[in-house]
């Protein structure tokens, strides 16, 4: 059984993958500042020694650990940017060839909607958090090209049990589809790929073809929640950021300082 290290294993997406990847054939090791059960290393992504312990003997790294919401620049610089660099360096030292990076829609969150959003959209972060994901994608391509790693950056939409806003009717990535997508990213023959991570949402407008080419077959659709979500929040006009930019309300929030 191949073994994958999950950084940020105690977080929301980490919990979802820990629940689903074993059934898809993965043995897992968790890495987090918080303690966890089973094969687990407690540590910080900015600590090379802890990462060396965590990377020993694994076949792949799924790098989720991050400040997962908008934050002042020094925070994302430290945890997200330096932390991601440290993870790639530790993977390189350990001879781990496959890294799957949890990028985010917020790397291109401020892109105005015009047809299907392609994966080669130029970087257009909607905040410092999104900027750190642009940087992370840069590390992905760099370590693929210079270190011969096989790397997939998944621009995750909204990975939660269920959609909790009108925007998420387009951006939702269900737990089941998250596991299918990460499994595809862990196993497909790749050099470096960027894909969007959403379910087969009726309202989705981000190109899922690159993910499908990796073998991802989404099975869920946020539309089953549409009636209850719209009853709670109402609809937004098409030119509202919730509908017109990947990052939704993040695009209008002031930069935090
Ligand atoms: C993300 O990248 C965040 O980590 C998460 O908290 C959600 O806000 C998600 O994007 C989203 O855009 O819904």
Q: What is the DSSP string of 187-223?
A: HS--SEEEEEE----TT--B--HHHHHTT------GG
Is the C-beta atom of 103 inside 6 A of ligand 1? Answer: no
Mutation test residue for ligand 1: of 117, 132, 156, 229, the one with most atoms within 8 Å of CB: 156
Convert the pLDDT of each residue in 160-199 to its tens digit: 999 999 999 999 999 999 999 999 999 999 999 999 999 9
Convert the pLDDT of each residue in 246-255 to its tens digit: 999 999 999 9
Residues pairing with 206 in the sheet: 117
**Residue for token digits 């073998």?**
215
Alpha-carbon separation of residue 173 from 85, 153, 159 (angstroms): 26, 15, 5
Q: How far is the CA of 141 from the centre of ligand 1 (A)?
A: 22
* Residue 136 contacts residue 80 (beta carbons within 8 Å): yes
Alpha-carbon separation of residue 146 from 89, 94, 149 (angstroms): 12, 16, 8
The alpha carbons of the chain give a radius of gyration, in whole angstroms, of 17
pLDDT at 24: 98
Is the C-beta atom of 105 inside 6 A of ligand 1? Answer: yes
Active site residues: 129
pLDDT at 32: 98
- Minimal CA–CA distance to 102: which of 42, 48, 173? 173
Q: How far is the CA of 1 from the centre of ligand 1 (A)?
A: 31
Cα–Cα distance measured from residue 208 to residue 196, given in angstroms and rounded to the nearest whole number: 6
Is the C-beta atom of 171 inside 6 A of ligand 1? Answer: yes
In which residue ranges of the chain is pLDDT below 50? none
* Whether ipTM exceeds 0.95: yes
pLDDT at 171: 98
Residues pairing with 32 in the sheet: 42
Is the C-beta atom of 68 inside 6 A of ligand 1? Answer: yes
Residue 66 CA: which ligand 1 atom is closest?
4
For the chain, the farthest-separated pair of C-alpha atoms sits apart, in whole angstroms, at 52
Say what percent of the chain tops pLDDT 90: 100
Q: How far is the CA of 56 from the centre of ligand 1 (A)?
A: 30
Is the C-beta atom of 104 inside 6 A of ligand 1? Answer: yes
pLDDT at 70: 98
Is the entire prediction scored with pTM above 0.95?
yes
Run of H or E residues at 74: helix 73-75
The per-residue b/e assignment along 219-243, b for 16 or more CB within 10 angstroms, e otherwise, is: ebbbbeebeebeeeeeebeeeebbb
List Cβ neighbours of 53 (8 Å cut-off, separation of 6 or more). 41, 43
pLDDT at 78: 98
Alpha-carbon separation of residue 136 from 72, 93, 153 (angstroms): 17, 18, 8
pLDDT at 152: 99
pLDDT at 240: 95
Residue 158 CA: which ligand 1 atom is closest?
13
Q: What does the block give as tokens for 141?
A: 């391509």
**Domains, the chain, ranges and CATH?**
3-251 (3.40.50.720)
Residue 248 CA: which ligand 1 atom is closest?
12
Is the C-beta atom of 251 inside 6 A of ligand 1? Answer: no
Cβ atoms within 10 A of the Cβ of 133, count?
29
Run of H or E residues at 32: strand 27-32
């Amino acid at each position: 059984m191949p073994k994958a290290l999950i950084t940020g294993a105690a977080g929301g997406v980490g919990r979802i993958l820990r629940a689903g990847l074993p059934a898809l054939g993965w043995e897992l090791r968790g890495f987090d500042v918080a303690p966890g059960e089973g094969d687990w290393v407690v540590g910080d992504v900015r600590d090379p020694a802890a990462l060396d312990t965590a990377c020993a003997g694994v076949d792949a790294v799924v790098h989720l650990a991050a400040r997962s919401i908008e934050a002042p620049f020094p925070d994302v610089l430290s945890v997200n940017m330096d932390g991601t660099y440290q993870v790639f360096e530790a993977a390189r030292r350990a001879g781990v060839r496959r890294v799957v990076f949890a990028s985010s829609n917020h790397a291109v969150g401020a892109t105005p909607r015009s047809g299907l959003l392609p994966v080669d959209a130029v970087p257009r972060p909607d905040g410092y958090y999104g900027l750190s994901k642009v940087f992370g994608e840069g590390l992905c391509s760099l370590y693929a090209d210079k270190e011969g790693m096989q790397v997939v950056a998944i621009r995750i939409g909204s990975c939660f049990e269920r959609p909790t806003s009108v925007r998420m009717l387009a951006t939702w990535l269900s737990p089941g589809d998250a596991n299918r997508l990460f499994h595809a990213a862990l196993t497909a023959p790749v050099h470096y790929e960027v894909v969007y991570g959403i379910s087969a949402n009726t309202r989705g407008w981000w190109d899922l073809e690159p993910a499908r080419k990796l073998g991802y077959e989404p099975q869920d659709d946020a539309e089953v929640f549409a009636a209850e979500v719209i009853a709670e929040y109402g609809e937004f006009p098409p030119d509202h950021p919730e509908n017109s930019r990947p990052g939704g309300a993040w695009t209008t929030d002031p930069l935090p300082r």
